[in-house]
Structure 1
Amino acid sequence: MLDIAADLIRWCAEERLFAVATVVRTTGSAPRGPGAALAVDAAGTAVGSVSGGCVEGAVYELCRQAVETGEPLLETFGYSDEDAFAAGLTCGGEIDVLVAPVTPGGPAADVLRTALTAAAEGAAAAVARVVAGPAALLGQALLVRPGGAYEGRLAGPLPGLPDWDGAALERTAAAEAAALLDAGRTGSVTVGAAGARCGEPVTLLVEVSVPAPRMVVFGAVDFAHALVRVGTFLGYRVTLCDARPVFATARRFPEADEVVVRWPHEYLADAAAAGELDGRTVLCVLTHDPKFDVPLLAGALRLPVAYVGAMGSRRTHRDRERRLREAGVTDLELARLHSPIGLDLGARSPEEVAVSIAGEIVAARRGGTGLPLTGGHTPIHPEPGRAAGEAGRIGDAA
């Protein structure tokens, strides 16, 4: 849902009645992951997508139904080969979709509006919605901030629990959502209706909004122009850093969010000390000059970032490894270095090289192999945090 925040904020401001269909669980080869959403208002206007087209028509009608009835519902869509006209996923996967109406002034409207605003502004927040469990709770939501503070209510008469007020469930749900928010990961959690693991199971989809991940490109060279553009396209907040003021200018790199004129290793050390780098950060070293590369990479390879890549020929790479070892970098640290940077695409132009680098970054982030899909037997959508080919639940959409 947070991926269509800009449209839904406008709908909320206009006090439209609408319904949001959100993917809450996927198995097998599903086109889109948890959090993907399609919204439909009372006039039939639609924004977003839950499946890239496979079941959009059926989900659209369910949204229209939810708008009319005011009742949430949970629907499962899977592969259908018995009826060619049935709504199914031709890719062979299965998805669960929660369809929830949003009524102006309704109990969840304020929570969703605040969560959507946070997502649009790039602030850290999570929205936890009940997607399975007691019918009275389905679709209810909490907005959770870093540290576990929350807004909203999970309340309703539950069978066999006449005095139940939801406070324990709210505290447990907020703690679980805060943990996912801290990891920057969208996913599902199951807790007990009476708190912790007690009572009837309640499953929540926790959609996380976090600031854009960072890409830092070191070296104001021709290849950097294309890589900055690609990094921006991929959703990174891109910084270009170079010690040479004549080359590192905002005019030469208008797509960069920030252009810094400093010695790269000094900038990196200060950014790390200020807490500006995290486990999603990507560092791309395009300078291939030992006086810049060695102190920069020696520091970068000791940071808990997602990716460190360095440009250069294989000869340059061997010389760089020797110099880094002489600087005290261990073999374990060197094993984290992607050098020569990028995938083997036969790239020549700066734009092609940028695509090669971006491909390697995506593969490292998503657990892909970098091999052609043709003739392969690994999952097309590998699961986050796992090597391609392993089985399990898909839950990351960060």
Structure 2
Amino acid sequence: MDRFSNVFERRKTRSVKWDMMEMIYQVEDASEILPMWVADMDFAAPDAVIDALKQRIDHPIFGYSYVCDGCKEAISNWLDKRHGWKTETEWMLFHHGVVPAIASVVETFTEKGDRVLITPPVYPPFFAVPERQGRVVVESPLIEQNGHYKIDVNDFEEKLKEGVKIFILCNPHNPGGTVWEEEQLLEIIRLCAKYDVLILSDEIHSDLVFPEHRHVPIAKLAGEDAERIITCVAPTKTFNLAGIQAATMIVTDEGKRLKLTENAMAHGQMELNAFAAAAVQAAYESGEPWLEELLSILSSNMDYAIQEITKAIPEITIQKPQATYLLWIDYRKTGLSESEAMDRLLTIGKVALEPGSKYGKSGEGFLRMNVACPPDTLKEGVHRFIKAFK
């Protein structure tokens, strides 16, 4: 557990999380503010990944690179072992992150003015990427019950009837941490097939599922309808490699792969860089023991934060997520507006969280807290949070 106890100084390392708070939160001096917002971890990456990067650096020539068969096989083996999903390496296309992959899919398979369906509250790029491409974002808000979420099947179908071209699924869900059950995934598949809608499934948090729950890749359930599904996976959330920028699109349909490849060529997009490919292969081949240890730490961190915050502030409720390292904090009973809550956190508590409205109107009254940090950092963050609300 020692590797997850070390506190690293991340300021002045070009860290978005630590070095850009003045700009993000519009404060003059963020030097005393503790960041618990953007989804990267304050833990060192697995030794196997660091060793692989060092080995690559030891060769002093950094020419054009490609994703080798060994890297693809490592991804395929991981998906089979962790999720029971058998994939072919020929189904894989690569991009510099899940968000760029989402942008490519939206651009390739829709036209300006086409409708893209999302289920808020949800990861902000699901709104922003289609809108910036001139697409119409259609919302089917999730049903929230005591901090847990489910699809509103009736509303979902009504929105599909409006001529939706793509549905973007967050599986597991960010920010709520819900691991979708097979029944809901099968209903999504059925309805999207009925209305001929492409499913784009962001499964970047699929490895960060706690042992009492099980992630099910939606494509695994789809049978013949798997050809209408494009799944995005990445080791970047799992192994804290966001700055490495690497993601895989699993596309079973050859025609769709060809169209995505043509789109990539139109944008001059190349495959993963030499360092990303090395990191991806090492993470998937050797990172599992590190991940198992991480999940134990994250679960303990969540238990601590939930217990301390709700004990000190009974008006606040927090349901333990089934996945991710993100707490979705319900402060609606405090009576505070979002601007009041954020002001208290930044000026009194000196801690930065994400406001729920960032995830859509249905996220108002919630805050997202990142607890993927050493226990000492977490205790300080929880203390600051309580101070802000007390």
TM-score computed with the length of structure 1 as normaliser:
0.23
* The structure with more strand, counted as a fraction of residues: 1
Structure 1 or 2, whichever has the larger Rg, is 1
What is the TM-score normalised by the length of structure 2? Answer: 0.24
